[in-house]
Amino acid sequence: MPVIKLETLVSADPETCFDLSRSIDLHRFSTVQTGERAIAGKTSGLIEAGETVTWQARHFGVRQKLTSKITAYQRPVHFRDEQQRGAFRFMKHDHYFSAVEAGTLIKDVFEFQSPLGVLGRLTDAIIMRRYLTRFLTKRNRVIKDIAESGMGACLVAAERNPYILERAGAFSYTHDGFIQEEALLRACYAWADVETIFAYKQDLLTTDEVCLDLFTRNGMRVFISESCSGWDRFLQKLSEQFPSLSEGWEWEVAQPPFKTNLALLFDRRGRTLTQAETDCYGGAHKP
């Protein structure tokens, strides 16, 4: 039976790596090339012990379905997903997470077997092993990049079912932060982690759009524009959390038209606009 073994070193803690690896939303994001969609069972959030998910995807030009189940689970060191129904004759994927000096070592042990007897064994040896190795390597690359960027903790926080006080358009609000619900990947940000807030305009040819960039203490850049559903309520929440914001900042940024009008609305470190622009954007701001 073919076995694929991979190792990925990630500069993040095992808990974050473990949770990102069982995130339905992150898996969908990391496999965009095959159009994977969770269509049954657990379809979003963090999959737990004993739960199943049914994926629909296109591989080798053929639309396929695969149902897998979490059959072993020990957070944050190991979990296993096994095929219950699907194209493989057999499929078992063990995920191991070990704390090391540099962060976390993720080990994948992927066992599989195609149907069709001798023909299936030839396919596994010649085609499937290479295809699946590339597939898993790319997925792990996405997990590594997100975990090391600081985005990982924000994604996990959004998927751990925080208590939602209010939902308004593209945003949900918790007791200490907000979640971007309509972003490609849901992420939860704490107000206390916001270090700097910029406002500016984007020239969309026929109109201008007022935008915000919120930079967090772990280096995340959160982009929000007035075209987002729930923009007005978000501005109200922002004013409540940061009362030093000028009441007329939106009008000041909007005028005159067709100019970026970058403005520093808030900076926890007390930097000037030029200093904050250089530090946050790595030089001049580019909308």
C-alpha 96/C-alpha 13 separation (Å) is 13
pLDDT value, residue 119: 43
Cβ contacts of 242 within 8 Å, gap of 6 or more: 194, 197, 265, 266
Give the model's pLDDT for residue 121. 56
CATH of 162-281, one of 1.10.3470, 2.30.29, 3.30.460, 3.30.300: 2.30.29
Q: Please provide the size of the chain in residues.
A: 287
Which amino acid belongs to residue 140?
A: N
Structural element, H or E, at residue 51: none
Task: Look up the pTM and report it.
Answer: 0.81
Single-letter residue type at 180: Q
Locate the domains of the chain by residue range.
Answer: 3-155, 162-281
Name the burial class of residue 144, with classes exposed (0-12), middle (13-18) and buried (19+) by CB atoms within 10 angstroms of its CB.
buried
pLDDT tens track for 180-234: 987 778 899 999 999 999 999 987 777 789 999 999 998 889 999 999 999 999 9
Residue spans of the chain under pLDDT 50: 118-120
- Hey, which CATH number is domain 3-155, 3.30.530.20, 3.40.50.720, 2.60.40.10, 3.50.50.60? 3.30.530.20
Q: How far is Cα 145 from Cα 129, in angstroms, rounded to an integer?
A: 24
| CA atoms within a 13 Å half-sphere pointing along the CA-CB vector of 274 | 0
pLDDT of residue 87: 80
CA 178-180-255 angle, 5° bins? 90
Question: Could you tell me the CA-to-CA distances from 200 to 5, 86, 137, 225 in Å, in that order?
Answer: 48, 50, 39, 10
State residue 230's pLDDT score.
Answer: 96
Largest CA distance in the chain: 73
The distance of Cα 209 from the centroid of its chain, to the nearest Å, equals: 25
